[in-house]
Structure 1
Amino acid sequence: MADVWLVAGLGNPGPGYAANRHNVGQMVLSELAARMGARFSRHKTPNLVAEGRVRPGGAKLVLAAPTTYMNESGRAVSPLLDYLSIPTDRLIVVHDELDIPFDTVRLKSGGGHGGHNGIRDIIKATDAAPFIRVRVGVGRPPGRQDAADFVLKDFSSVEKQSLPSLVSDAADAVESIVEDGLVAAQQRVHAPAP
């Protein structure tokens, strides 16, 4: 199944969380599904799943939106990897990142969780096997606002103006990883704007 990738978009379930910063990973999944003309349906694992191809004849993407809360993301992602027999080096996790400025996307493989509970749980559930991350910058909370409160709030009205392009950039990054490999995708995504 070398041409199959699992793309997990992290977030919390339910409409009350849908527009939160913490759910930007699931926003990116929705964009990818729309591009592929794919629809999400319930899976036997705790995920909503959609499948499609980046382009005709291209790699197959299995998009997974965990139906667990963020801090239990590993409980959703790990059994789906097993069910599909996909190795962790073919797992791409899309998630919010406080340590990256808003409207910025960064790519990496492996590493620590950086305080992100969803990533922490996936690392634990996959026995720390490295996987690729599409880190979508949501910026730091203003003033003394608690980080946990900040990520559970919706994007500001100013941020919402740029949010569609941020989500699109992150979806482009996923497609680039699958089509061109991580290093080439990093060179493209991390290059300074002209």
Structure 2
Amino acid sequence: MIVGLSNPKKKYHKTRHNVGSWYIYTLAKYYCSVLKEEKKFFGFTTCLNIKSNLIYLLVPNIFMNINGYSVHKMASFYKISLSQILIVHDDLDLDPGIIKYKYSYGHSGHNGLRNIIKEFNTQVNFCRLRVGIGRPKNKNEISSFVLSIPDFRELNLIQKSISYAIKENFTLLNFIQ
């Protein structure tokens, strides 16, 4: 399962905090699939067949700090453990245009990740794809920064890095073993 963390689509889709959902929508489009709203999972879902593996995609359509509820609902339904899920999320510690794959435990202060760990009630390592969004100069502006729309240059860098990662199977080769 691959999850792109997000806030509700209509109001927040273009914000930095939703770059995880940008990745999922781009991935689905690349594989000629369309995400559809699935109310029982509180999000948008589709399924891909990649290298003979059935991969479920999810974009939660609830607030970031409760995304774990949506992820846990879908994972429980399909009997998928947290260690079998790739979480794609925004990362303040990476500049726009930088994407890094990480396998570890922890949330690094990210509320979406924090809630996923809480919902799964476990301390296992899991896969993360960190999409760089940069960091505001003032620490007190983080909340408004992640909920703002990136400027043209940042948006272009983020979109290019997402497209490159998908076309080069950057995450899928690491994730599907």
Quote how far apart the aligned CAs of 1:178 are. Answer: 3.2
- Once the two structures are superposed, the pairs formed by residues 137-148 of structure 1 within 5 Å of their partners are 137-143=132-138, 146-148=141-143
Counterpart contact for 1:21–1:152, Cα < 8 Å: yes
Instruction: Pick one of 143, 148, 165 that aligns with 1:153.
Output: 148
Gaps of 5+ in 2: none
Instruction: Pick one of 166, 172, 177 that aligns with 2:174.
Output: 177
SS in structure 2 at match of 1:155: coil
Q: Distance in 2 between matches of 1:93 and 1:166?
A: 16
Q: Distance in 1 between matches of 2:61 and 2:133?
A: 22
Q: AA paired with 2:142? A: A
Q: Distance in 2 between matches of 1:10 and 1:169?
A: 19
- 1:47 equivalent to 2:43? Answer yes
Q: AA paired with 1:133? A: R
Instruction: Pick one of 58, 65, 82 that aligns with 1:64.
Output: 58
TM-score by length of 2: 0.90
1:138-190, CA deviations, whole angstroms, 9 ceiling, x for partnerless residues? 111134551111100111121122232111134333322234x4xxxxxxxxx
Counterpart contact for 1:105–1:169, Cα < 8 Å: no
Question: Would you say how many aligned residue pairs link Structure 1 and Structure 2?
Answer: 173
Higher mean alpha-carbon deviation, 170-179 vs 18-27, is at 170-179
SS in structure 2 at match of 1:154: coil
Q: AA paired with 1:134? A: L
Counterpart contact for 2:99–2:131, Cα < 8 Å: yes
Higher mean alpha-carbon deviation, 170-179 vs 146-155, is at 170-179
Measured on the aligned residues, the alpha-carbon RMSD in Å equals: 1.6
Q: Which residue of 1 aligns with 2:87?
A: 93
Instruction: Pick one of 25, 29, 48 that aligns with 2:24.
Output: 29
SS in structure 1 at match of 2:9: coil
Instruction: Pick one of 95, 99, 103 that aligns with 1:109.
Output: 103
Gaps of 5+ in 1: 1-5, 182-194
Counterpart contact for 1:97–1:137, Cα < 8 Å: yes
Q: Distance in 2 between matches of 1:89 and 1:125?
A: 14
Q: AA paired with 2:41? A: T
TM-score by length of 1: 0.83
Counterpart contact for 2:96–2:157, Cα < 8 Å: no
Quote how far apart the aligned CAs of 1:80 are. Answer: 0.9
Instruction: Pick one of 14, 21, 32 that aligns with 1:19.
Output: 14
Higher mean alpha-carbon deviation, 170-179 vs 8-17, is at 170-179
Q: Distance in 2 between matches of 1:178 and 1:114?
A: 21
